[in-house]
Amino acid sequence: MYAVIETGGKQQKVLAGDILDVELLDNSKSVTFSNVLLIADGDQVSIGTPYVKGAKVSAKVIGNVKDDKVTSLKYKRKVNYHRTIGHRQNYTRVQIEEIKNGS
C-alpha cells in the first residue's frame, strides 16, 4: 500500500516505514498529513479530486536536518563588484508509520 501526499508545496510517494525529508514543520513528536492525493492498495486505486476524503498518513518526527550548501555568485565586470552567497535549507526528517484510507 502506498500513498501520494502533498506537503510543503511538493508531492511525495510514501510507503509505511519510509524515511523522508519534508519542508520544515513545527516541533512535535508526530505529524498527520491530511492532503492525500492518491492511495493505492493492490488493484484498488483511490484518486482524490483534489484530495481523497478521510484519508490520512501519520508519521513520527525524527528530527531536523540541513541540506547541502548551495553557493551562488554575483559578479559585475569593470566595477570591482563580486559577492558570494551560501544557503542551507532546513528540513524535518519524518518516518511514515501508517496510511489510513478514508473509505
Separation between Cα atoms, residue 100 and residue 103, nearest integer Å? 9
- pLDDT value at position 28? 85
Percent of the chain with pLDDT over 70: 99
Q: For residues 23 and 74, what is the distance between their CA atoms, to the nearest angstrom? A: 27
> What predicted TM-score, i.e. pTM, was given to this entire model?
0.82
Tens of pLDDT along 19-28?
A: 999 999 987 8
Tens digit of pLDDT for each residue in 28-46?
899 999 999 999 988 999 9
Would residue 42 count as lying in a domain? yes
Domain count, the chain: 1
Instruction: Say if 12 falls within a structural domain.
Output: yes
Residue 83 included in any domain: no
Task: Show the cell assigned to 22.
Answer: 519534508
Q: What is the CA radius of gyration of the chain?
A: 19
How confident is residue 103, by pLDDT bands cut at 50, 70 and 90?
low
Structural domain of residue 58, as residue ranges?
2-64+93-100
Question: In angstroms, what CA-CA distances link 22 with 37, 55, 56, 93?
Answer: 16, 19, 16, 6
On whether residue 14 sits in a domain, the answer given is yes
- Confidence label for 85 from pLDDT (cuts 50, 70 and 90): very high
Has residue 11 been placed in a domain? yes
